[in-house]
Structure 1
Amino acid sequence: MLGGLIVLPVVGVAAAGGWSAMVTALRAADPILLEPMGTLGLSVGGIVSAVSFAGIGMAFLGAPQLLTRFMAARSENEIVSGSLIAVLCIIVFDLGAVLTGMAGRVLVPGLSDPEMVLPILSADLFPALFTGLFLVVVLAAIMSTADSVLLLASSAVVRDVVQPVFRPDLDQRRLVLYGKLTTVVIGLVGLVLALTEARLIFWFVLFAWSGLASAFTPVVVCSLFWSGTTRAGAIAGMVSGFLAAVTWVIVFKSSFYELYEMWPGFLTGFGVTIIVSLVTAPPEGAAEEHQAIWSFHG
């Protein structure tokens, strides 16, 4: 995946005539393509749009499918090194994807489905063998996220709902079976939604992403940087942040320049976590544990 998103943009930009020629061709096709603020320009709507896009990254701080990777680390040292490697990989992935899109706009203009730019561009620039490898890159990117999300969802249903609420006496073998069945059901639902070719999938992804950011990011940030965070504050912050994001989409979003719901959800969850934590008692030994964690990294 990393190699594919390094090779394809390099070859694509070269095939477009180099960086200067590619930028010139993009400007000739549509000058707005190179404007940082897009069609809205430097206006209130443009600034809100830029802030909304920047907010998408907030969910990375609290996404459960990413936090579980840190929990599974063999040592604290691996967490530090893994974090640095992850940041570098994301930078390479994002730059590679953007440069591939820019080169594709010049080399294969007028695509009916812009999401097909990677396979079409690889088919035009490389032999069939390399095209197959680049398609594997796409599948690898999908599967690296899909497996984590599916397992996380099935675990949440079985471990957090079925076992504690309905069947606390279930043995481990039965829990594993229910987890597998839940994974299959969730996967089939996702497959059906994908096959309908509804153009709402990206909207649902952003909506779900904002829910993760609003519910978990405030709690994670407060827990890491403030020893006064309490259980009641965390629960209240998660619930209020998620509800604020949903309410913003339903009631307020269209009236505020389509501001991404992550921001009001995150700010609400962050504020509620702090307020409720201030009026409730922190767990015993929280300050000492917090100090020990930061002394290790400091």
Structure 2
Amino acid sequence: MSTVVTGCVAVFAAVVVWSAWHGYRRTSGSADFFVAGRQAPWWLITGSLIASTVSGATFFGLISSYYRMGFSVHWIPLGVAFSWLVICFAVGPRLRRYGRFTIPEYFAGRFNSPGLRVVFAGVTVLWMVFLLATVLVQGGLLFGSLWNWNYGTSVVVITAVVILYTFFGGQKAVLYTDFAQAAAFLIAVVVVVPTTIGAAGGWGEITSTVSADQPGFFGVTGGAVSVLNVMALFFVWFLGYLGHPGFLTRFYAARSERDVIKTGIAVSAVYLPFWALIGFAGAAMRKLYPNVADTETVWVRFVVEQTPSIIAGILFAAILGAILSSADTWLLTAASSGTHDLLRKVSRTDWSDRQLLSRTKYVVVLLGLAALPFGLWRPTYITEMMTIAYTIAGASGGVLILFSLYWRRTTRQAAWTGLIFGAVSAVVGRVAQSAGLTPEWFDPILPTLLGTALLLVGVSLATPTDAAATSAFDRLRTPQPATTPTPSEETA
């Protein structure tokens, strides 16, 4: 590997280390560590959300998915883009208004049910550990491609980097480094993708060659899946993002509701054009490398072979940044919920702010290590691993978030029913699908999501409302000055 490439990655790594240390020195308490003191401007949150959303899965997993499945994969970014519109305009402002720290904490207050907080936190930690494993796979593939390291060694190294970065930095480091990382890989993609198209002979040559090899590649279903499959992709990623605490809690860090709205406009303006470029890159790779052994490293291979060293170095540094930006977001969110909402509640003891902060950092280490075996295992493609995680997130949390924010009549009993049914059905459905017990054209997530929604409606109508729960709902609808409690306060 060129010394220029290695130098670019090394410089970027040094910047990340400095940012984490800078964030560590500016973190004076748990409010800083969890939500950056609630003083993050809209442009900083925008950069962080884009960086966390894109991740290294874009350059390894999604390009591979486009390569294999054609433009049916467009339904993933379409679902995510629609989710961002709903999150930033309909969900984020109300969560910011509620003014707490975690989504399990919000559910406990909204439905007057401390137990719901513990169970939802447990479900969230489990699927986020599996999601975190996908970025360890990405790091393993990146280091292996750059320096020919053994895959297992590469995964262990990226695990250590992610744990240390999150342990020291917290939310302040996440926000600032995510913004820099987002800028780096957006610029790199804008420069490199046209190069891939040109190297493949131009867009006309790509479409004619790839269409002959896989008819329907550029169509709605990519010529490889059914209409029900693409509908499932859309809803899984749309509701999965709605149920993802790592994204939703970003708005707790915002300075105001107005900043949340500005974030929505900015993310929407950047997101779909970026994903369009990734789809073009996937098609170009199919033309350039029609028979590769590992499709998840195909774009890295192209960059190494056909771009100048300085461009390759910037791009690989950007990919490393994208990996870290997602890993720190997911790890910090899982650790926050695991400590703030699960361990503290189960232990039934009062922790000081200092104790909560230190124990959260220890949980960061434990959860990072818990994700390591899944990263080493690499059970399937990165995008498929993420889809499994978002299936559980959408079924257990995404549907419930919408009902809790916009239907006053949603009851505590309905929330419990929807959470348990959604989580269990999502897991059973994915296991059955992996075992080949369902037809290829059918995706079990569709009846799971529909069943969760119907249960929320039916059980809510059949059970009485709770005065505290409806009062919490009314609070969400009424703008008011935000409070800034510490996470060590009892809030549910």
Q: 2:399 aligns with which of 218, 221, 229?
A: 218
Q: Compute the displacement of 1:174 (Å).
A: 2.9
1:57 aligns with 2:228: no
In the alignment, is the contact (CA less than 8 A) between 1:158 and 1:178 conserved in 2?
Answer: yes
The aligned residue for residue 119 of structure 1 is 300
Mean CA deviation greater in 60-69 or 117-126: 117-126
Matches within 5 A, 1:191-230: 191-199=372-380, 202-230=383-411
Q: 1:23 aligns with which of 203, 207, 210?
A: 207
Seen in structure 2, the aligned counterparts of structure 1 residues 201 and 31 have a Cα distance that, compared at 3 Å, is closer
Matches within 5 A, 1:258-273: 259-273=442-456
The aligned residue for residue 169 of structure 1 is 350
**Equivalenced residues, count:** 289
In the alignment, is the contact (CA less than 8 A) between 2:246 and 2:329 conserved in 1?
Answer: yes
Distance in 1 (CA, whole Å) between partners of 2:430 and 2:289 is: 36
Seen in structure 2, the aligned counterparts of structure 1 residues 144 and 263 have a Cα distance that, compared at 3 Å, is farther
Q: Compute the displacement of 1:230 (Å).
A: 3.0
Distance in 2 (CA, whole Å) between partners of 1:101 and 1:172 is: 48
1:34 aligns with 2:218: yes
Q: Compute the displacement of 1:53 (Å).
A: 2.0
TM-score (norm 1): 0.85
In the alignment, is the contact (CA less than 8 A) between 1:13 and 1:99 conserved in 2?
Answer: yes
1:277 aligns with 2:463: no
Q: Compute the displacement of 1:147 (Å).
A: 0.9
Mean CA deviation greater in 63-72 or 115-124: 115-124
Seen in structure 2, the aligned counterparts of structure 1 residues 265 and 71 have a Cα distance that, compared at 3 Å, is farther
Q: Compute the displacement of 1:57 (Å).
A: 2.3
Distance in 1 (CA, whole Å) between partners of 2:198 and 2:399 is: 44
Q: Compute the displacement of 1:223 (Å).
A: 2.4
Distance in 1 (CA, whole Å) between partners of 2:371 and 2:470 is: 43
Q: Compute the displacement of 1:35 (Å).
A: 4.4
In the alignment, is the contact (CA less than 8 A) between 1:243 and 1:265 conserved in 2?
Answer: no
Seen in structure 2, the aligned counterparts of structure 1 residues 88 and 140 have a Cα distance that, compared at 3 Å, is farther
Q: Compute the displacement of 1:222 (Å).
A: 1.2
Distance in 2 (CA, whole Å) between partners of 1:261 and 1:143 is: 32
The aligned residue for residue 292 of structure 1 is 478
Task: Report Cα offsets for 1:109-141 as digits up to 9, x if no partner.
Answer: 322111112222222332112101111222222
The aligned residue for residue 128 of structure 2 is none
Distance in 1 (CA, whole Å) between partners of 2:440 and 2:432 is: 13
Distance in 2 (CA, whole Å) between partners of 1:184 and 1:286 is: 35
In the alignment, is the contact (CA less than 8 A) between 1:210 and 1:261 conserved in 2?
Answer: no
Q: Secondary structure of the equivalent of 2:398?
A: helix
1:66 aligns with 2:241: no
In the alignment, is the contact (CA less than 8 A) between 2:408 and 2:470 conserved in 1?
Answer: no
Seen in structure 2, the aligned counterparts of structure 1 residues 28 and 256 have a Cα distance that, compared at 3 Å, is closer
Seen in structure 2, the aligned counterparts of structure 1 residues 129 and 220 have a Cα distance that, compared at 3 Å, is same
In the alignment, is the contact (CA less than 8 A) between 1:246 and 1:261 conserved in 2?
Answer: no
The aligned residue for residue 484 of structure 2 is none
Seen in structure 2, the aligned counterparts of structure 1 residues 128 and 287 have a Cα distance that, compared at 3 Å, is closer
The aligned residue for residue 12 of structure 1 is 196
Say what the alpha-carbon RMSD is for the aligned residues: 2.5
The aligned residue for residue 296 of structure 1 is none
Q: Secondary structure of the equivalent of 1:2?
A: helix
The aligned residue for residue 13 of structure 2 is none
Distance in 2 (CA, whole Å) between partners of 1:68 and 1:231 is: 22
Matches within 5 A, 1:71-86: 71-86=252-267
Task: Report Cα offsets for 1:7-59 as digits up to 9, x if no partner.
Answer: 2222211222222122122224433533433445xxxx712222222223221
Seen in structure 2, the aligned counterparts of structure 1 residues 26 and 72 have a Cα distance that, compared at 3 Å, is same
The aligned residue for residue 3 of structure 1 is 187
Distance in 1 (CA, whole Å) between partners of 2:389 and 2:202 is: 38
Mean CA deviation greater in 256-265 or 46-55: 256-265
Q: Which amino acid aligns with 1:207?
A: I
Distance in 1 (CA, whole Å) between partners of 2:358 and 2:256 is: 31
Q: Secondary structure of the equivalent of 2:226?
A: helix
**Structure 1: 5+ residue runs without aligned partners?**
294-298
Distance in 2 (CA, whole Å) between partners of 1:78 and 1:236 is: 34
Q: Compute the displacement of 1:63 (Å).
A: 1.4
Q: Compute the displacement of 1:76 (Å).
A: 0.9
In the alignment, is the contact (CA less than 8 A) between 1:244 and 1:264 conserved in 2?
Answer: no
Mean CA deviation greater in 109-118 or 280-289: 280-289
Q: 2:228 aligns with which of 48, 59, 75?
A: 48
Q: Compute the displacement of 1:191 (Å).
A: 3.0
Q: Secondary structure of the equivalent of 1:260?
A: coil
Work out which structure has the larger RCO, using CA pairs closer than 8 Å and 6 or more positions apart in sequence.
2
The aligned residue for residue 291 of structure 2 is 110
Q: 1:241 aligns with which of 411, 422, 431?
A: 422
Distance in 2 (CA, whole Å) between partners of 1:268 and 1:153 is: 27
In the alignment, is the contact (CA less than 8 A) between 1:230 and 1:277 conserved in 2?
Answer: yes
